Amino acid sequence: MTDTTMSDEINIPPFETEDLRRNLVTFLDSEFDDPVVGGTRRVGNFRWGVYIFYDYDGEPIYVGQTNEMLRTRIRRHLTNQRTDAVAMSVLDPFEVYEIEVYPLPQFQDVSGAADRAAARAHLNALEHAVYGKAIAGSQFKTILNEKDPPAPTVEVEIPPSFRMRVVSDDVAKIRSHPDFRIARRSLIISRLAQVISERKVQGGLRRVLLTQAKRLQWLADRRYQALGGSLSVEAENVEEDDND
């Protein structure tokens, strides 16, 4: 193998990383109705909106909002542009199987301080509503957000959304295996616990740790029971010691 070939292989990202980037582009370039312009717009090109990440069990794990463009914010979470949530091991991009977005086309070209303030109030209220919906739909009745969304100051209705998986069948075969997920989740918990032990943190980060621990216990218990539970545990073979 030549040095050039070896260098080329080193510069090629792992296939799972490339798979996520490719599927993320497909998701963000998907068309979504924009009643303001009377047509469609690529979902990632909406400036204002709320998003949810789901894991391999369809469990909501993280809710966020943006007014800088959905494409920019979501890519920052899931690619090499790290956010605090990823850096602090609050959110593990490997857990994300599906994404759902709630675009707000009416604020696409908003300008002026008063109009932007109104748009911000609407965005905060929508995040609060979607966050509550995610909590209600979670079997753990909690998700991995370190902070709660701001209290709403206006009433809003949850608008139409767009949801799609961002993992190929090949990657899903690897990551969806419960033993792989147990190992990965244990690693994230360890990293998060280390962050907590080394820094002065707020209660929200400890809540994330508790939530992850519950999710790990549930996953490990489901795997244990699926393999037979207590019936799968062998009895110890105690042999008589000749020296006694």
Number of domains in the chain: 1
Judge whether 242 lies within some domain: no
pLDDT tens for 57-97 read 999 999 999 999 999 999 988 886 556 667 678 889 889 99
Which of the two residues, 16 and 26, has the higher pLDDT score? 26
Is 233 a member of any domain? no
Q: Which domain holds residue 79?
A: 3-168
Distances (CA, A) of 11 to 8, 14, 15: 5, 9, 12
- Is pLDDT of 56 > 50? yes
Q: Tell me whether residue 27 is in a domain.
A: yes
| Residue 166 · residue 27 · CB < 8 Å | yes
Mean pLDDT along residues 185-190: 94
pLDDT at 12: 58
pLDDT score recorded for residue 2: 53
Please report whether residue 135 resides in a domain: yes
- Would you say residue 35 lies in a domain? yes
pTM: 0.88
For the beta carbon of residue 206, count every other beta carbon within 10 angstroms: 14
**For the residues 236-241, what does the mean pLDDT come to?**
72
* Domain contains 209: no
Whether residue 210 lies inside any domain: the answer is no
Is 17 within the bounds of a domain?
yes
For residue range 106-138, list pLDDT tens digits in order: 999 999 999 999 999 999 999 999 999 999 999
